Amino acid sequence: MVNEPISTAATSACLDLLRVPLTVSERDLLRLAVDGAVDATGSRIGYVHYVNPDQLTIELCTWSTHTRDYCTVIHDRHYPVADAGIWADTVRSGTAQLHNDYSQVPHRRGLPDGHSELIRHLGVPVLSGGAVRLVMGVGNKGTDYTPDDVVTVQAIADHAWLTTLRLREHQSVAARLSVLQDRQERTRIVTWEWDPATGRVGWDDGLPQLLGGDSAVRDSWAPLLEVLDGPSQEALGRLLAEPPLGAVELELRGRGGHGQGVTLWLDGEWVDRSQGTGKVLRGALADVSLQERFHEAAFRASHDPLTGLPNRAWLLEQLHHRVEQQRPREQFGILYIDLDRFKAINDHFGHRQGDDVLIESARRMGSVVRGGDAVARLGGDEFVMVIVGASAEADLLSLADRVIGRLAAPLPGMPGTVGASVGVAEWRPGESVDELLHRADVALYRAKRAGGGAARGGEEPPP
């Protein structure tokens, strides 16, 4: 990994990789990375390829976006290192390679038909576990490549590899969860039929496996009732005593065969008897424990554990989604909120009281938002409200004043108030999420500098 200072352009390219959603493909992720390296060095072409574990072949991955305008050559996926020209010296040596006069390098070898002309070239390897895992290269800069360019491309390549590993880990976990959910839906479910006239319940043969019991299936509700906790037993008893006229949906909780907590979902609907008149209730019983844990994990990943509000990751995903939709008629804006005296309260009364202030502040902000709006906690005492349908910045400022008023009210059981400063910005069509947040952040800075307890707009000219 590179430890030397890197350029602003390289830093920006690395940050762009951190903002990539975890649903993107590896190829698109690496194309974004090499595009960043091309832009940061002023190059015209670029590539990024994997090096296979055997270290003898290269897995061709992707060109930079604009390289495809110049290069039309096609190779097999596994390109032998032994057949590659000097651009693959990065793999052979495990070090960066720089060629500022490519045509004069004696052992350069020829370029295949369709390959773009190569004037200058800079390639770097990514090393991990004693082997080269990835190579990234750029070419045809207007002037000579410098050692600073080597640092820049190396930093972007290293960050691209780390982000790739993060992407692989996420997609591996998501794939395993998907398989588990699929298996659960196909195997952890049994069917049943209840005749209210006789009280008889017909279960399929999967009931003992579902409930963890060893006894033979009985033609009653007893096997299910035996695993349920008290409240769930009562809920099922009420349903059976007064069966609803429509469909049945009931969540039940209890203990499975190994004493583990289990969540079951019972649903059914009335159907005509196969013989005679009247109806029977027919449905399914499913173990949804894994699905519930999956949803709980997803909630924890996207929400702040203290306040229960959506977190920074959720906010950025939502903002990117809105910006990518590009719906001028569905305008939205944001309120960037910072509590004014939170640090003093936290230092004086302690972190527990500080947490109570954050929870109460989050509750008050939540009481202001309308349907479709949202409030998220960025971290510390910073929050962002997403306001949908704001027709003008004046509307956002008016709402910001309401938020400030709510947060300025006395705190329960604590002397004084916390208060807040707010920066507002209405999204402009074509504006990026970073630009929107920056304008709101600058507006918040103006509000803070003016003494706090006020709101400022993102349209105001800089002082």
pLDDT tens, the chain, 463 aa long: 445 566 787 787 777 777 777 778 888 889 999 999 999 999 998 999 999 888 888 887 888 887 765 555 555 556 788 877 777 889 989 999 999 988 888 776 655 555 667 889 999 999 988 899 999 999 999 999 999 999 999 999 999 898 888 888 888 887 776 765 565 445 578 889 999 988 899 888 778 878 876 556 678 898 899 889 999 999 999 999 988 888 889 999 988 766 678 889 999 999 988 777 889 999 989 888 776 676 777 777 788 889 989 898 889 888 988 888 765 556 889 999 999 888 888 777 788 888 888 999 999 999 888 878 899 998 889 999 998 876 678 888 999 999 999 998 888 777 678 889 999 999 888 889 999 999 999 999 999 888 888 899 876 544 4
Which residue's structure tokens are 């707010």? 422
User: Given CA atoms 223, 227, 232, 233 in this order, what sign does their dihedral have?
Assistant: positive
Strands 189-195, 261-272: pairing is unpaired
d(CA 161, CA 126): 7
Distance CA 267, CA 250 (A): 6
- Cβ(219)–Cβ(202) under 8 Å? yes
* Encoded amino acid at 56, one letter: L
pTM: 0.45
DSSP 428: P
* Separation CA 108–CA 86 (nearest Å): 5
Helix (H) or strand (E) holding 13: helix 8-18
> Sheet holding 332-339: strands in order across?
374-379, 382-388, 332-339, 420-426, 455-457
Structure tokens at 154: 């190396």
Q: How far apart are CA 36 and CA 43, in angstroms?
A: 10
Contact 145, 154 (CB under 8 A): no
All structural domains of the chain: 8-175 (3.30.450.40), 188-293 (3.30.450.20), 304-457 (3.30.70.270)
